[in-house]
Structure 1
Amino acid sequence: MGKKDKKEGKKRRDESPAPEDGNKCRVCRFPLLVALLQLLLGVSVTVLAFLMLAISPSLLARETPHWAGIILCLVSIVGFILYCVSYRPDETSSMQFVCKLLYFILCTIGLVISVLVIAFAGHHYAQTSSFTCELQREDCVCKVDTSDPIARTFTYEGVSDCEEVTGTLTLYFLIQIALNLVQAIVCAVGAFIMWKHRYQVFFAGLQIGSPSSRQWHKV
Structure 2
Amino acid sequence: MGRKGSSEERDGGKRREDTSAAEDDHKCRVCRFPLLVALSQLLLGVAVTVVAFLTLAISPSLLARETPHWAGIFLCLVAIVGFILYCVTYRPDERSTVQFVVKLLYFTFSTIGLVISVLVVAFAGYHHGQTSGFSCLNVAEACVCTLDPRDPIARTFTYEGVSDCQDIRETLEVYHLLQIVLNLTQAFFCAVASFIVWKHRYQVFFSGLQIGSLKRWNKV
Corresponding residue of 1:62: 65
The one-letter amino acid paired with 2:58 is I
Say if 2:159 is the partner of 1:195: no
Aligned pairs for 1:86-125 (under 5 A) are 86-125=89-128
TM-score (norm 1): 0.78
Corresponding residue of 1:85: 88
The one-letter amino acid paired with 1:109 is I
Say if 2:184 is the partner of 1:181: yes
3-state SS, counterpart of residue 134 of structure 1: strand
TM-score (norm 2): 0.78
Corresponding residue of 1:41: 44
Higher relative contact order (CA 8 A, sep 6+): 1
Task: Spell out, residue by residue over 1:181-212, the C-alpha distance to the aligned partner (whole angstroms, 9 max, x if none).
Answer: 1100110000001011111129xxxxxxxxxx
Question: In structure 1, how many angstroms separate the alpha carbons of the residues matched to 2:131 and 2:167?
Answer: 11
3-state SS, counterpart of residue 137 of structure 2: strand
Q: Structure 1 residue 165: deviation in Å?
A: 2.2
Question: In structure 2, how many angstroms separate the alpha carbons of the residues matched to 1:196 and 1:150?
Answer: 53
Say if 2:34 is the partner of 1:31: yes
Q: Structure 1 residue 30: deviation in Å?
A: 3.3
Q: Structure 1 residue 97: deviation in Å?
A: 0.3
> Which structure's CA Rg is the greater one?
1
Aligned pairs for 1:123-138 (under 5 A) are 123-138=126-141
Question: In structure 1, how many angstroms separate the alpha carbons of the residues matched to 2:37 and 2:113?
Answer: 13
Q: Structure 1 residue 170: deviation in Å?
A: 1.2
Structure 2 gap ranges (5+)? 1-20, 206-220
Match of residue 50, structure 1, among 45, 48, 53: 53
- Relative to structure 2, which stretch is displaced further, 149-158 or 75-84? 149-158
The one-letter amino acid paired with 1:112 is V
Task: Spell out, residue by residue over 1:34-75, the C-alpha distance to the aligned partner (whole angstroms, 9 max, x if none).
Answer: 001000100000000001101100011111000000000000
Structure 1 runs, 4 residues or longer, greater than 3 Å off: 23-30
Task: Spell out, residue by residue over 1:114-158, the C-alpha distance to the aligned partner (whole angstroms, 9 max, x if none).
Answer: 001011111110001110111111000001111222211111111
Say if 2:194 is the partner of 1:167: no
Aligned pairs for 1:138-177 (under 5 A) are 138-177=141-180
Aligned-pair RMSD on alpha carbons? Answer: 1.9
Residues matched between the structures, number? 181
Structure 1 gap ranges (5+)? 1-20, 203-219
The one-letter amino acid paired with 1:108 is T
Question: In structure 2, how many angstroms separate the alpha carbons of the residues matched to 1:82 and 1:27?
Answer: 14
Contact 1:141 1:154 survives alignment (8 Å): yes
The one-letter amino acid paired with 1:190 is A
Higher helix proportion, which one?
Answer: 2
The one-letter amino acid paired with 2:157 is F
Contact 1:29 1:194 survives alignment (8 Å): no
